[in-house]
Structure 1
Amino acid sequence: MKILMYAFCVVLLFTTFSLNAQKKEIQLAGYSFEVENLSDQKFIDFVKKRLENSQFTFVGEQHGIKEVGIFTNALYNIAQPYGYHTLCIETDAIAAEKIKEIAASSTPIDNAKKLHQEFQFSIPFYNNEDDYELFTNVVKKQGDIWGIDQTFMVQFRLNFDYIIKTTSHQPLKKKLKELKKEAVMAYQEAITNKDYNAPYIFKYDEKTHKDLLKLAKDEKEIEMINQLWNTKVIYAYNNITKEYYKNNNTRGQLMKSNFLRYYREAKKKNNTPKVIFKLGANHAAKGLTRTNIYDISNMASELAITNDMHSLHFVVMGITGKTATGNPFTPDPVVAFDNTKKFPEEVQKVLPTITKKYYVLDLTPLREHAYSSFSDAFKKVIFKYDVLVLVKNAEAFKGF
């Protein structure tokens, strides 16, 4: 036994020595390029090649910068010949439907502003003019918009209003009118007193939820009401019981089930529906995310493989610049940021050399060098995403 253990240790030491001896610095310049504009043919050709035989494409975004919407719009246009017509975003289904309805109108920006004025901060990531350029483009190209996330915490006003306007069941309509008034008052209290615990979500209880389910008469209404309870549970894990893993995992599972509802319906017309996702960077990562869950992106990557296709995962981050906070309690809705120290050391070395607006790094071919050449932080990026896009002097999106 001692001899075997000694032999094992010798092999292990030799292997470690060999890896260290082979370690060499890989120059990222051979795997990257810069463009000032996403209409540059170099960028278009790069994307086209990677879209071939793909089913799902993810844009993992830094929230609050307008270049992500510009990037997604450019990607959507390039992807049209490859069968991509659906955009999936980080909202619930009702918010996505409202966005699509507004984008199809003759004055989308004006109508989006009206919705925001009536239900302020109900749709947190898309209350801006820049993303509506993307949404109107999707609609003009006869595309669809899916919303797979939980209902936002101050969105109850909007969802109650939606069901009131769409239901034909008068008892349900009457009850929801009462609840909408409560939700509006709760939001005003939250804004006036800067109280995170004042929104109606914290008043929505199990009895109220069950009462609404008894009044609902069709499957769609029942599903919309159940989504309210799902978000109540998810926020409670974060704000009340501090069970952060449950918060992230339950939300991830909800996004998967919401996506599959859309997906199964789409399969009735096309056996392999193609979707572009615009989500927070963590939601777009393959494998175990930094919140220790296997998110919607990982499920989609495996689903594509079962269809003999693949998924494509971009992460788009600003280097420095300004971002919109999306926080109704902050005195300044736009703040400066500097991400330089947050990037892996290999990327930090490249930053001073970047001269154009967009820096594009192809991560996929770097994987064969990952274990002998790169830091642990960079390895995580290499295996979670396929392409890193850095934005120089990022701008905050133009909020309503």
Structure 2
Amino acid sequence: MKSFITLSIIVLFFSCKEKPMDSVAVKVEKTNPAPIIDASYIATKTRYFTITDTAIVGEGRAMLERIISKSQFVMFGERHGSKATSQLITRLIPMLHKAGFNHTAFEVGPYSAKKLVALSTPPSTTVENLKQFTTQYALEEDHEIPIPFFDGLEDAYFLQAIRERDMNIWGLDQEYYSSTLFFMDELLTFVTDSPDYETIKSEKEQASKIIASWYVKDNIPDSKIRLFDEIQKEPVVQQYLSHFRGNENTKKIVEDLEISWDIYTRWREDSHADRISYMRNNFLTNYKEALQTELNPKVFLKFGNLHASKILTNGCYDLGDLVTQLAKEQGSKATIINTWHRYYSNEKGEEQDYLEKYASYYKRLRDFMTLAKRDQWTIIDLEAIRSDIQERRIALPVNGDYHKIKSLIDGYDYQLILPLDKRVTPNKN
């Protein structure tokens, strides 16, 4: 009898143990794996728009309006020198300003930003003033631009649009590689009332001549000179700068110029992290100043797409990360937009398809790039895709494509693919 009872207990025990396992097995059988992300799925998150002389039109406009209305920070990661991009920014500025964006930030130096304000005062003179300025300070080949990303006609138009609405301009980056001669002249304007003005002016002319000669040497192919080390070794340059180091109005200009020279000199030796920290600090300085008059200052940032990412890029947490973190602290939102070219017309007028030209780069992102249109802007909602992944409605591939696709989706909120594009129209004589 005892053995029967013991056996019954054992059978009951094992039958109870098996039931949860059976239910798990049933669950597994009933759960279908999420489909893998592909072009047909991405197309459902994609809209298109075009740009007319006065507006943005098409389904994609609603997506842009939603981005602007919901964001405190809009970070535009551009392809430098793009005519289409500058045309888009010109159309975006009125929309941004209407939504309360009073501040813009660019990949130029702090003092260069102030110069851009001067060159666009009054706004109606912007195009001609920029043309004269760029022409005056253009050197040979690699040193043709004193202030970057504002040397094209289309750039002048969007700057004019900003200034017509009295939006602020923040310069966050180092002063540009080819800006030194412009700075020599700018410093001189601060001492026009000095009794030693003629002497200082003579020193400036000598210093500028020597600086120009070093730029010529630097322009020689395969030149390995450390340009700014050589410039700073020149006694006449140091003599000229000495007039401005102790001046309250100019000492910060000299300090920023020397920081810029140092970053460029050490660019092969890991100065990138110092550059990014410099940009982040400059943003925070401007932002704290804006907080004195606004509760949640809205800022539009236009930088190269490497700087826009909100994940680790090139060993640094860049501006995209900074505004994302600030938005979290403020309980607001930062929206990060990435851009690509697919169709591009080069300087010879030859049309190129970047999906073919850079096939090795885009092959793992092909399902995104194939949605591009030659005559329309393509905008893909990466935020919605990210949400679908988190909710297990769609899955990332398990092969090597996983890493690039995940980096794109985690690093940016929207992907823009430009229509047929070319370089900006040069705005100089």
| TM-score bin, normalised by smaller chain | 0.7 to 0.9
- Tell me which residue corresponds to 1:373: 396
Match of 1:237 among 250, 262, 266: 266
Instruction: Measure the CA separation in 1 of the matches of 2:284 and 2:78.
Output: 22
Identity among equivalent positions (%) equals: 19
Instruction: Measure the CA separation in 2 of the matches of 1:210 and 1:100.
Output: 30
How far residue 130 of structure 1 moved from its aligned partner, in angstroms, is 0.5
1:159-238 → structure 2 map (5 Å cutoff): 159-167=183-191, 170=196, 173-174=200-201, 175-191=203-219, 193-194=220-221, 196=223, 201-205=228-232, 212=241, 215-238=244-267
How far residue 393 of structure 1 moved from its aligned partner, in angstroms, is 1.4
- Tell me which residue corresponds to 1:248: 272
How far residue 115 of structure 1 moved from its aligned partner, in angstroms, is 1.0
How far residue 154 of structure 1 moved from its aligned partner, in angstroms, is 1.8
Instruction: Measure the CA separation in 2 of the matches of 1:260 and 1:173.
Output: 35
SS at match of 1:271: coil
- Tell me which residue corresponds to 2:131: 113
1:1-400 → structure 2 map (5 Å cutoff): 21-26=33-38, 27-37=41-51, 39-40=56-57, 42-105=59-122, 106-120=124-138, 121-167=145-191, 170=196, 173-174=200-201, 175-191=203-219, 193-194=220-221, 196=223, 201-205=228-232, 212=241, 215-238=244-267, 242-243=268-269, 246-289=270-313, 291-322=314-345, 338-340=353-355, 341=359, 342-343=361-362, 345-348=364-367, 351=370, 354=373, 356-370=375-389, 372-374=395-397, 375-400=402-427
How far residue 282 of structure 1 moved from its aligned partner, in angstroms, is 0.4
Confirm or deny: 8 A CA contact 1:285 1:313 kept in the other structure: yes
Larger displacement relative to structure 2 (312-321 or 71-80):
71-80
- What residue identity is the alignment partner of 2:101? Y
Larger displacement relative to structure 2 (122-131 or 195-204):
195-204
1:294-332 alpha-carbon deviations (Å, 9 max, x no partner): 0122112111221111111111221120367xxxxxxx8
- What residue identity is the alignment partner of 1:283? H
Instruction: Measure the CA separation in 2 of the matches of 1:69 and 1:88.
Output: 14
Structure 2 vs 1, CA of residues 173 and 198 (structure 1 numbering), >3 Å: closer, same or farther?
Answer: farther
- What residue identity is the alignment partner of 1:47? L
Aligned length: 370
Structure 2 vs 1, CA of residues 78 and 215 (structure 1 numbering), >3 Å: closer, same or farther?
Answer: closer
Structure 2 vs 1, CA of residues 176 and 211 (structure 1 numbering), >3 Å: closer, same or farther?
Answer: closer
1:339-392 alpha-carbon deviations (Å, 9 max, x no partner): 322336354465267364201101001113448324221111111111111012
SS at match of 1:152: coil
SS at match of 1:85: strand
Instruction: Measure the CA separation in 2 of the matches of 1:352 and 1:304.
Output: 31
Instruction: Measure the CA separation in 2 of the matches of 1:280 and 1:129.
Output: 19
Confirm or deny: 8 A CA contact 2:120 2:163 kept in the other structure: yes
Instruction: Measure the CA separation in 1 of the matches of 2:367 and 2:164.
Output: 40
Structure 2 vs 1, CA of residues 232 and 349 (structure 1 numbering), >3 Å: closer, same or farther?
Answer: closer
Structure 2 vs 1, CA of residues 115 and 75 (structure 1 numbering), >3 Å: closer, same or farther?
Answer: same
Instruction: Measure the CA separation in 2 of the matches of 1:335 and 1:195.
Output: 28
Gaps of 5+ in 1: 1-16, 325-331
Confirm or deny: 8 A CA contact 2:108 2:175 kept in the other structure: yes
Confirm or deny: 8 A CA contact 2:244 2:251 kept in the other structure: no
- What residue identity is the alignment partner of 2:109? D
Q: What is the root-mean-square deviation of aligned Cα atoms in Å?
A: 3.1
Instruction: Measure the CA separation in 1 of the matches of 2:32 and 2:228.
Output: 54
